Amino acid sequence: MHPMLNIAVRAARSAGNLIARTIGQSENFEVAQKNKDDLVTSIDKQCEKMIAETLFKSYRDHCILTEESGVLGNPDSEYQWVIDPIDGTTNFVKGIGHCAISMALRHNGKTEVAVVFDPMMDEMFTAARGEGAFLNGRRIRVSSADSLDGSIIGTAFPTRHRDRMNAYLEIFTRLINNCADIRRMGSASLDLCYVACGRLDGYLEQGLKEWDFAAGELILREAGGLATDFLGEPNYVKSGNIVSGNPTMVRNLIKLCDPQSLDAILR
């Protein structure tokens, strides 16, 4: 295993233990509202601290970008970790057992290794660039679905961009009329991993931040999948608007978003 992946797995497991011990027990942690409908807990911060300490112990000169603390360490380092200590914080607070630790390592801007760990399911998704994607050590691949007909698609409502809700709901209506069913699970990094291992045939969401998708995107790519923005361009990294699946499903999903809805989403 790539040595940096090894360290990341270790850091994710230790933070995962804390998450599994405290999930849903809001009497044992503090909850604050960062923005409307956007929560953070003292466990997010504790996990972040644990992970940063583990990484800095081995890689003192690296930079870490985290959701809750911003930039830590050497901002000029060639190595940058992009970390979400709890992806799916609302699920965590509510005691819904679906959340993950997401960690990606970029070298000169290119993602080299990725870990997404679901401590409730004890599922460790990993990837190193060019070496495939794995779930608990077993190789994973995207589904081979080639049509929306019969497919299960993951998505999320743009609750933090309510100005886009009507446009999104038009896409949602077309989606539910054309696929078998939809899942809205609440953790973007796990959504991407679920596409990577074929549990979902596709997934689309808007307005994500890089810690939500940095790790899941490499895992997805190494599993034969593709992520684009709503126009099929690689610009999702900037916009956070992401469409994913095997290449055929991405094409099918993009076709479903008509220009009028897209106009509102891309504004």
Structure tokens, 80:
């940058």
Residues from 195 through 254 that contact ligand 2AM (CB under 6 A) = 207-209, 212
CB 185 within 8 A of CB 203: no
Residue type, 265: I
Residues 56-75 touching ligand 2AM, rule: CB under 6 A, are 67
Contact predicate 129/113, CB 8 Å:
yes
Residue nearer to Ca ion on the CB measure, 89 or 111:
89
160 binds, among ligand 2AM, Ca ion, none (CB under 5 to 8 A by kind): ligand 2AM
From residue 145 to residue 164, what is the string marking binding to ligand 2AM with x (rule CB under 6 A)?
-----------x---x----
**Binding partner of residue 207 among Ca ion, ligand 2AM, none, CB under 5 to 8 Å per kind?**
ligand 2AM
From residue 84 to residue 123, the character string flagging contacts with ligand 2AM as x (rule: CB under 6 A) and all else as - is x--xxx----------------------------------
Classify residue 80 as exposed, middle or buried by CB count within 10 Å of its CB (0-12, 13-18, 19+).
buried
Q: Which residues touch 13 (CB under 8 Å, ≥6 apart)?
A: 117, 124
Taking every pair of Cα atoms in the chain, the longest distance, rounded to a whole number of angstroms, is 52
Q: Which stretch binds Ca ion (CB under 5 A): 65-73, 172-180, 220-228, 242-250?
A: 65-73
User: Contact 55/4 with Cβ under 8 angstroms?
Assistant: no
Residue of 77, 82, 153 lying closest to 112 (CA atoms): 82
By CB under 5 A, name the one of 48, 59, 84, 151 that touches Ca ion: 84
CB 65 within 8 A of CB 55: no
Which residues of the shown chain bind Ca ion in the complex (CB under 5 A)? 67, 84, 86, 89
Which residues of the shown chain bind ligand 2AM in the complex (CB under 6 A)? 38, 67, 84, 87-89, 156, 160, 186-188, 207-209, 212
